[in-house]
Structure 1
Amino acid sequence: MHIKTKYYIVIIGVLGVFLAGCQKDPQYSIPVASVTNADSSYNPTPYTVDIPEGFPDMQIPEDNPMTVEGIRLGKKLFYDPILSGDSTQSCASCHQPSFAFSDPKQFSVGITGAQGTRNAPAIINQGWNFEFFWDGRAQSLEEQALAPVPNPIEMHLQWKDAIVRLKNHPEYPELFYQAFGTKEIDSMHVVKAIAQFERTLISSNSKYHKFLRDEVALTPQELNGMTIYFTEKGDCFHCHGTVLLTDNLYHNNGLDSVFTDLGRYNVTQDPNDKGKFKTPTLINIELTAPYMHDGRFATLEEVIDHYSEGVKVSATIDPLMKKAHQGGLHLTAQEKADLIAFLKTFTDESFINNPDYLAP
């Protein structure tokens, strides 16, 4: 029997559940919203999102349609330190392209030298996300982008001062006009442009995704790891089972029995949410160390050891952690190695090297 056939027999039922309804829509064109008081010289170019095979449609806010000009502006803003108090840090300082738009530091360092308490998550396929930050306190990419600029432990610049800088810049007023039909810059135009750029950061060309498209074959070790991943042996698929490799939901995955960070509870005030954090995508997981909301694990080996032997039980432990009360999955050394080999098939080199995503 052909090796890929064996694979489908093992997990086709599981994948079928997650991939159902994810039909390819190769051309997802967003209409350009009308702009009041714009003269005839305002003529933005609609941007067409190429939806990867097997991915669901991308839901884009009606009040922020994607345009070539908006994306160009958002990219410039993303990489420009003009939005930080001392003009030394940009969005890209904590979301570095070579690390799949994540930060290799456990905690990002702001302009004053202060550190946060959570690891900066990767910006990958965020157009399919619907809540943002580890606790989901932002309801859109636009809302998320508002927060870092005035945050005193991040970019530490009041929006009113940032807007003055942008208005006095020799290039930005014209770029905002091209993108939004107005030179009256405000914070909402800034974050809308950044969100447009971030929605273009699509990763779909890992070895695993190419395998799903029948373009490449996996090695025997990678296939063994995939079997572990997509069965109760590894239990990974419950939270990381779709082509996006995340369910975008919140889980307590047994990191602590007593919480120093209450996670989702801080947003909902629901006691059942204590210790729950948003599931990150595993796309490019090889590149996005350190791991977990607090960056406590430096390597994939440490992550797997946690799920194998280090799970801690608390009142809100996720029921999907079926072996939590046994301390974990208790994988063998070979099973761990096979699973890590499979996780590395999620790496998408074309994503981190795409010139459309890199600094202008």
Structure 2
Amino acid sequence: MTKSTPFADRSIARWTLAAALAASTASISLSQGALPAPPTPPQNPTTAEKAVLGKMLFWEEQLSSDGTMACGTCHQARTGGADPRLTNTPAHPGPDGVAGTADDLFGSPGVHRANGFGHFVADATFGFGEQSTPRTTPSMMTGAYFPELFWDGRVGPDFVDPLTGLVVIPQGGALEAQSLQPIMNTVEMADEDRSWASVTGRLASARPMALATNLTADMQAALAIDPTYPELFEAAFGTAEITPVRIAFALAAYQRTLVPDQSKFDRVMRGQAQFTPAENRGRGAFGSPQSRCAQCHAGSLFSDRQFHNLGLRPIAEDSGRQAVTGQPGDRGRFKTPSLRNVALRERFFHTGAPGSAGAPAINDLNDLLAFYDADGGAFANNKDQRLIGLTVPPQVRGDIVAFLNTLTDPRVAAETAPFDRPSLWSERSPANRNPLPLGAGAVAGTGGFTPGIIATSPPREGNQGFRVGGFDALGDVFTVLHVDLVNVPGGATTMDLRNGLPLAAMTQGIGAGQGTMTWLDDEALAPVLVGLSYEAQWWVRDFGAVGNVAKSERVRITIE
């Protein structure tokens, strides 16, 4: 593979990159603070090349089937390693499937459901809207320290090659095992029946970070040397082969560089700072026999890494750890998260809120402490006995909050190295979205159904699998994705802008409101299209519509 940089210069540049990365993460190996370096399995030693590759993969939206989701979409430093998109409105209706009831969950929005052909299909819970995870996104910031990961600990401590079934890491491989799960999850990042061959093949031909902007300095330096994923994998592993194991190794290596050990608490432990009187009182209350916070949030990690039932919700809604172990004693138990950077988080617990009927959401640390002052949640089945009689009265809550604030690493809050990151395509403001819904042009058809349009796939040059979907149309009739050029003289066109093929098809389904359609371009959007802007809408042959054509809302799409 031809490169523009001479070999000797590339070697020097790689050495410089390695030195720069080592300096930015020196606290991992050199600091003697309260938080030790994360354990690293011998099968996957951390290197600068591997870590920067993992950083790109972590923020790579092209790792999802439709180009809309990256690992970093749901895990960002500014919210303590959790999802910044969570609001006061639950995204998941909970086990009863009905929004606005007590079991609603603050899950993370994911992809629109699509089948193995990339065609949008209805989900039983979310229809044609964004799906949502059934649990609140946990922080990934200290994941390297846990022997099992996810709220229920369903992965780890071993890591198994998903292609061969062989154990690659027998102990300490939870981070590697967890890293691959979202990529194949049909709620989070994947079409149905996604294969690892499609994942690795897409990476092999994709332009790295094509959908991101404001790339970090280490990303820019690495791409200046190795501008393709095969070259980046070769730099990290010695050959250009892209495999699931290598993807997991790189993602885990990057996450092991995210060590939040520069908080005020760490500086106090190293003798470099002192607690204020309020912080010192809070530390005492945190470990007192009355509040007992430190019994579960123990040690420098502020987690015992065990599983506990807080009485949040009925076990029938989510059995937690029991679904993994099969043990009755684990019913309703969930992992104790680390409290490092907890003050940055906007949601707490696996539900995102206590969830008992009529209870308000827990929006801050004061609410959190009040929850524990009430002996935790109201559901007693297998509730942890350490919660009974626990007291966190109002007069000590302010001091404990002051102490918890000392667990925030300022680099995490400010998203500076090694917690820096690029800007994602999906993070654009509503006014700058591309595709941009225009909120006009819709025409209802038979039965009063107005066709809907799904246009979320990024129209960026080089993006593979660009798609536009439709739903709620009349079934089994002729439909066309009507394209009206905006910045090119002339009129409307119904031709594929890449190869001249008509954007026409038959809707799937039978009956009013049952028709679905998807236009999918399996090849990457070509550079010649950059700058082209057009408005697209579905036109559906429907004699129940005005003019015999039902239409979706118009969407502005600009190739970038």
**Which amino acid in the other structure matches residue 183 of structure 2?**
V
Alignment-derived partner of residue 204 in structure 2 = 167
Please state if 1:304 is matched with 2:369: yes
Comparing both structures, which one devotes a greater share of its residues to strand? 2
- Using CA pairs under 8 Å that are at least 6 residues apart, name the structure with larger relative contact order, 1 or 2: 1
1:130 to 114, 136, 147: 147
1:200 to 244, 249, 257: 257
> CA contact under 8 A between 1:207 and 1:346: conserved in structure 2?
yes
Segments of 4+ moved more than 6 angstroms = 43-48
RMSD (CA atoms): 2.1
Alignment-derived partner of residue 35 in structure 1 = none
**Which amino acid in the other structure matches residue 400 of structure 2?**
L
The structural deviation recorded for 1:100 is 2.3
**Which amino acid in the other structure matches residue 67 of structure 1?**
T
The structural deviation recorded for 1:264 is 0.5
Summarize deviations over 1:150-192 as a string: whole Å, max 9, x none: 1111011423221111111351000001111121211111111
> CA contact under 8 A between 1:136 and 1:278: conserved in structure 2?
yes
> d(CA) in 1 for partners of 2:314 and 2:61?
40
> d(CA) in 1 for partners of 2:151 and 2:399?
29
1:348 to 400, 405, 409: 409
Q: TM-score, normalised by structure 1?
A: 0.82
Alignment-derived partner of residue 338 in structure 1 = 399
> d(CA) in 2 for partners of 1:63 and 1:233?
44
| Bigger mean CA offset, 295-304 vs 271-280 | 295-304
Please state if 1:248 is matched with 2:305: yes
Paired residues in the alignment total 314
1:86 to 66, 91, 99: 66
List gaps (5 residues or longer) in structure 2. 1-10, 87-105, 113-129, 157-173, 208-227, 354-361, 423-560
> d(CA) in 2 for partners of 1:103 and 1:70?
25
Alignment-derived partner of residue 243 in structure 2 = 186
CA gap 1:66/1:345 in 2 versus in 1, 3 angstroms: same
1:214 to 257, 271, 283: 271
> CA contact under 8 A between 2:35 and 2:301: conserved in structure 1?
yes
> d(CA) in 2 for partners of 1:80 and 1:298?
30
Summarize deviations over 1:57-105 as a string: whole Å, max 9, x none: 5321222111111001000111110111111211110001211221131
1:1-360 alignment, distance < 5 Å = 49-50=28-29, 52-53=31-32, 54-56=34-36, 58-104=38-84, 105=86, 106-112=106-112, 113-139=130-156, 140-157=174-191, 158=194, 159-170=196-207, 171-256=228-313, 258-296=315-353, 297-311=362-376, 312=378, 314-323=380-389, 328-329=390-391, 331-352=392-413, 353-359=415-421
| Bigger mean CA offset, 207-216 vs 72-81 | 207-216
The structural deviation recorded for 1:350 is 1.8
**Secondary structure of the structure 2 residue equivalent to 1:114:** strand
> CA contact under 8 A between 1:244 and 1:283: conserved in structure 2?
yes
> CA contact under 8 A between 1:205 and 1:351: conserved in structure 2?
no
> d(CA) in 2 for partners of 1:125 and 1:152?
25
The structural deviation recorded for 1:221 is 1.7
CA gap 1:269/1:52 in 2 versus in 1, 3 angstroms: farther
> d(CA) in 2 for partners of 1:107 and 1:208?
31
> CA contact under 8 A between 1:256 and 1:314: conserved in structure 2?
no
**Secondary structure of the structure 1 residue equivalent to 2:406:** helix
> CA contact under 8 A between 1:84 and 1:156: conserved in structure 2?
yes
> CA contact under 8 A between 1:79 and 1:359: conserved in structure 2?
yes
> CA contact under 8 A between 1:249 and 1:279: conserved in structure 2?
yes
**Which amino acid in the other structure matches residue 177 of structure 2?**
E
> CA contact under 8 A between 1:123 and 1:201: conserved in structure 2?
no
List gaps (5 residues or longer) in structure 1. 1-40
> What's the % identity of the aligned pairs?
33
